[in-house]
Structure 1
């Protein structure tokens, strides 16, 4: 009779990529149910590790949130340069297109953006990382380089536009908006973004 290996019971022990496994599990939960409703035990279950391992790598839930979510997969300067490189009359459309690409086209982008937006809506301890980053480093930079003295106001108006899109399309899942093509979104919001960032007022 050949002996068959016995599968060990319980959570799997820490391994070479345990920290990465915990981070991926946390990102998934933060992006799907928000910061408040996620517990460290829930993350341990999702990652299939002993809860003690999370405390080995992270001091708290907020520490884990910062590690997994606030690492925004967005190179702001490169994005700004690309938006401003095209014709002035197309900057609004280019800005919307760049946001959609960053949201959907970067590794973990959608999950991180969604987790941050859920956190902001819930009023958690980490309330404005996404909006502050985009306001200062992306839209504010664009408006300031276009010579507008009121670039801070323009930046926050631009953020309100794209985060409103994010909320309705990816969290509330408004059906027509959720199934619209990116090109339709660019066509629909590009002129509004052009007015916010480019036109004189």
Structure 2
């Protein structure tokens, strides 16, 4: 089997694991069901992964990291445009990964493995965004402020809005379109700048 076929088979197994876990939950998804979905034997899965935990962990990790590619794209943009781009890109990614988001919402509280991966995803987001915000403070586009508060507001707002609107389908939450994203970013920037001015 060629290296490309190995990579494709590993990805097929990971995709099936994500799909089944999003439908039935982690505890009710077995290696046997994943094998059946992929039309392979259980032994094939154990050839690539030592356990369901390893398969699941690797599958989720693949959904988490995009920050290294996003931040360089926005370094030269004005702060508002950069933050709008980042938020839009995140929401677009979450929409394309609905199964992943279902797992986060449904499994994060009760499954330590999912909780750890979600925590790591937030850490990666905070580190990358923190560097971006610090850079914008250095260039005086944003006054010096508490970076951790800025990151909490930004990430939490868009993640919560996405979950409420597109996962839980709460009708009073506005559509997550360009107007909503830009208005959110402007409100945040006004608040951050106002906080610094009153200190």
Structure 1-normalised TM-score? 0.70
Quote how far apart the aligned CAs of 1:122 are: 3.5
Q: Is contact 2:57-2:113 (8 Å) kept?
A: no
1:10-159 pair list within 5 angstroms: 17-72=8-63, 74-104=65-95, 109-127=97-115, 128-137=119-128, 139-147=129-137, 148=144, 150-159=146-155
Corresponding position: 1:185 with 2:180: yes
Label 1:157 to 1:32 Cα distance change in 2 as closer, same or farther (>3 A).
farther
Distance 1:74 1:39, change over 3 A: same
Gap regions ≥5 residues in structure 2: 138-143
Q: Deviations over 1:16-64 (max 9, x none)?
A: 6543332221121234444344332332232233223222221122211
**2:91–2:162 CA contact under 8 A, matched in 1:** no
Say which structure is richer in helix: 2
Backbone CA RMSD of aligned residues? 3.1
Return the offset for 1:154: 2.1
Answer with 1 or 2: which has the greater Rg: 1
Structure-2 separation of matches of 1:31 and 1:191: 35
Relative to structure 1, the CA distance from residue 34 to residue 175 in structure 2 (aligned partners, 3 Å threshold; closer, same or farther) is: farther
Q: How does 1:159-198 map to 2 (within 5 A)?
A: 159-175=155-171, 177=173, 180=175, 182-195=177-190
Change (3 A) 1:120 1:85: farther
What TM-score do the two structures reach when normalised by structure 2?
Answer: 0.70
> Per-residue deviation at 1:195?
4.9
> Is the Cα contact below 8 Å between 1:96 and 1:193 reproduced in 2?
no
Number of equivalent positions = 181
SS in 2 for 1:85: coil
What's the CA shift string for 1:180-200, capped at 9, x where partnerless? 36324324533344357x636
Is this contact kept in 2: 1:44–1:51, CA < 8 A? yes
Name the SS of the counterpart of 2:112 in structure 1: coil
